[in-house]
Amino acid sequence: MIFSLEKKVVVITGGGSGIGKAIAECFAAQGGIICIIEVNEATGQATVASINDKGGQAICIGCNVANQMEMIAAYQLVMQQFGAIDILVNSAGIASVAKLETTSEDDFEKVFQINVKGIYNSMYAAIPHMKKRKKGIILNVASIAATLGISDRFAYSMSKGAVVSMTLSVARDYVREGIRCNCISPARVHTPFVDGFIKNNYPGSESEMFEKLSNLQPIGRMGRPEEVAYLALYLCSEEAAFVTGCDYPIDGGFTKLNT
């Protein structure tokens, strides 16, 4: 089967919702053994139940990605139970809607802790296990905000720029260790966060704002989480064995066709 992940042990942070959930379900359908790392154990367990009900294999470990000791312990549990971490997908993240002068120090620190330190902690905990086996695949979820100026996304853009930089650094430092590292940069994807953002900020005008945000992508709509998952599947499969140190936009033409 092309893009098979049969018996591959896959760790996915933030696998309880949005893009992370779609990746977990997609990878499980390809035979992967899914280990979800979630601070919200209820959503993580819901994804696990959905996967297991369809004949897949998944577990959830409650963990705060910003806590390094928790992450190290979580990945040790994965190793004890499955003996390997073949694939790591870092999808956990939070958003921030503000420009510099309206971003409080607390908000900036919260975004940094989850979106930057969280990915550092995850890779820090996983790479020693991958090095011992001389193989491993890492995929980080960045954003087009990493490389484009997007209004009212100061802290979020900062954090995703760091994700791209960390990806390139890890790819270079560990290429001789048999570890590949890439990242993907989605534009706006229709997730529960988008629905909540529109509801909270544009009450009574939800449909109009949804259409406006959809049309910002030249293709005329938002992405679907499963479409991001399909790109992730390729990059984490053996078919992409020659691919490392790259950032892949998946944006409905936003990056190139809006310029």
CA distance 115 to 112: 5
Has residue 5 got a pLDDT over 70? yes
**What pLDDT score was predicted for residue 193?**
84
**What pLDDT score was predicted for residue 165?**
98
Helix/strand/coil percentages in the chain, nearest 5: 55, 15, 30
Residues 225-242: pLDDT tens digits?
Answer: 999 999 999 999 999 999
Residues 72-116: pLDDT tens digits?
Answer: 999 999 999 999 999 999 999 999 999 999 999 999 999 999 999
What percent of the chain lies above the pLDDT cut of 90?
A: 92
CA distance 224 to 190: 6
Are 174 and 245 contacting, i.e. CB atoms less than 8 angstroms apart? no
The one catalytic residue in 124, 156, 202, 248 is 156
156 is catalytic: yes
Average pLDDT, the chain: 96
Neighbours of 201 (CB within 10 A): 11
Has residue 259 got a pLDDT over 80? no
Has residue 190 got a pLDDT over 90? yes
Which one, of 183, 7, 141, 143, lies nearest residue 83 by Cα?
Answer: 7
